Structure 1
Amino acid sequence: MSTTLAGPLVGATRVRPDGWLATPLTTDPSQAEAQARSLVHRHHPVAPGPVRCLTTRYRTATFTLGAPPRRLLKRHGDEAAYLGEVLAYQLLEGERVLPELHSASDISRTLMVDFLHEPAAIEHEDGFEELIAAVAAIHTASARWPQHVTETMSPWRLATTSDAPAPAWVRDPVAWRELLRLTADAHGDDHVPLGHLDLKADHCRRRSDGRFALIDAETLRPDLTGLPDLITLAYLGQVEGRALRPRWVRQAYRRHNNDLGAQWSDDGLVRALTAFATATGLTSLHGVAQ
């Protein structure tokens, strides 16, 4: 796993050292915007103009397209992050929980998606439950994949991975296998355990039809289960002025997952959360297993 040190998953993360990216992007907005115009012209010829720099970092840069903005161009410096985000759009195409993907370029490592500017407030139960429902849709998506996607993703089925050696970053392989067993009990052996979303308030948006959506899907992985996201949800429910009880978050998560075909018991979900913490060295479950 890889994420920032501060946050809900401290202890279960390993942080990349400074300078790990061989070809970082420019952090100068004017230079980044000029480069984006050239990339749009070559790789996204139907994109609306003008191009305006929104954010520029050494790993990623984002640009609005159109006036007023209609599309968002995202550029990746890291090929793995780009491929991960493209994979997320492909795997979640039928769930309508991400902005619509219009085009992608492997050559330039860029994607063009709908620009979602309207925030989705999650300060209260109704809005937060929309977030939980979107996360549950992602976690159960493999049950609704068309046959060609199911076949492509078959190497990540729990039936295939449960008996494989634990990943190198796992501290307790026995607890990891218990986590996978409990997940298979709830979702079935054919389940592909999507998880590790970059969940934060700023990534919760509204689509033009009013539906809730998440932006920034580059961290999604098909091998971590949904438990890190449930832990993050419990954390989010208690920070930035919110006061949502972790038990309420867990029960809402279980209800939405089970409505979509899972069969989590409350006891099984608590044991799975505990197994994840033991397996990864997570320092806190933020009350979600109590």
Structure 2
Amino acid sequence: MSTIAVAGPLAGAARVRRDGWLTTPLTTDPTRAEAQVRSLIYRHHPAAPGPVRCLTARYRTATFTLGSPPRQLLKRHGDETAYLGEVLAYQLLGDEQVLPELHSTSDTTRTLVVDFLDEAADIDTKDGFDELIAAVTAIHTAPARWAPTTAEAMSRWRVDAAANAPSPAWVLRPAAWRELTQLTGAAHGKEHVPLGHLDLKADHCRRRPDGRLALVDAETLRPDLTGMADLVTLAYLGQADGRCLSPRWVRQAYRRHTNGLGAQWGDADLVRAMRAFANATGLTSLHGADQ
């Protein structure tokens, strides 16, 4: 299976499959995609409102608005792993109020229905970006607030287990990965599950009906990457699209919010963790976040 390097905040560390790798890709014809969803929605999501309108039709995912005006969003996955990852994200973060509300899922059709959030959250101001950082840190620290049953189900991903296991196959430098794991465990506790790798983009920042910032497209969340990937991405976003937010300010805001939710990051250790993440994964730049 071929992979290609991706430009952007995680260049060097990120890899993506080429188009065409799915054995059964979704149709990219919006009319056909809409017809397919109409045939399945009443069987698998009977409470969903109508009418159905195709929003995007891509070979990996398709999205559809439900209701007029749109009230909910149906997302269909061509890749089972991505579907299961997004459902897992909703299960793990349901109490954090940082995602749209989930209404229903269907493993059979790899579809899920969530609130349709049409209002964009402005992250161009310092206050708006600080709100984004707060949402990200709520996700990173969520394991500390999990119910015992959830914590037990996710125990295989704990940092103390990772410290005694071989590093993942995609890690380039195991010693740097062990350092990152140790630093993460020291800051969050040995029972911490290192959630991270959010698909952070300005367009994915929306407003929930309660006014809180929510992140859409949670399919990339993983329980083994730590929060460093997202901190690096936040530093990148703070300087993208005309924003002029200091990477050092982003790091300090991240540490303030994370520690306010129970972590114990010292600034020097947070810098060490970012550098260890870069060394372990081949990341080409920390975008000034370690300065």
Give the TM-score normalised by the residue count of structure 1: 0.98
Distance in 2, Cα, partners of 1:37 & 1:100: 22
- Partner letter of residue 26 of structure 1? T
Deviation at 1:18, TM superposition (A): 2.9
Quote the residue 1:278 is aligned against: 279
State the number of aligned residues.
289
1:122 maps to which residue? 123
Q: Distance in 1 between matches of 2:58 and 2:172?
A: 32
* Partners of 2:168 and 2:25 in 1: CA distance: 28
Residue 58 of structure 2 aligns with which residue?
A: 57
Alpha-carbon displacement from aligned partner over 1:103-123 (angstroms, at most 9, x marks no partner): 000000000000000000000
Asked if the contact 2:199/2:218 (under 8 Å) is kept, the reply is yes
- Equivalent position amino acid for 2:152 in 1: E
- Matched residue, 2:200: 199
What displacement does 1:16 show? 1.2
- Partners of 1:162 and 1:8 lie apart in 2 by 27
**2:239 alignment counterpart:** 238
Distance, in Å, in 1 between the alignment partners of 2:222 and 2:16 is 17
1:1-290 equivalent positions in 2, closer than 5 A: 5-290=6-291
**In 1: Cα distance, 2:31 partner to 2:66 partner:** 15
Q: Residue 206 of structure 2: SS of its match in structure 1? A: strand
CA distance in 1 between partners of 2:100 and 2:138 (Å): 15
| Structure 2 alignment gaps of length 5 or more | none
The C-alpha deviation readout for 1:35-75, integer Å capped at 9, x for no partner, is: 11112111001100000000110000000000000000000
In structure 1, distance between residues paired with 2:19 and 2:107: 25
Q: Which amino acid in 1 is paired with 2:25? A: P
Alignment-mate amino acid for residue 169 of structure 1:
W
Q: Provide the secondary structure at the position in 1 that maps to 2:15.
A: coil
Runs of 4+ aligned residues of structure 1 deviating over 2 Å after TM superposition are none
TM-score by length of 2: 0.98
**Are 2:92 and 2:150, in contact at CA under 8 Å, matched by a contact in 1?**
yes
The superposition leaves residues 227-279 of structure 1 with CA deviations (integer Å, 9 ceiling, x where unpaired) of 00000000000010100000000000000000000000000000000000000
Per-residue deviation, residues 173-204 of structure 1 (Å, max 9, x unmatched):
00000000000000000000000000000000
Please list the CA deviations of residues 115-160 of structure 1 after superposition, one character each: whole Å capped at 9, or x if unmatched: 0000000001000000000000000000000011001000001111
Equivalent-residue separation in structure 1 for 2:207 and 2:197 (angstroms): 21
Kept after mapping to 1: 8 A contact 2:5/2:12? no
Q: Percent identity?
A: 73
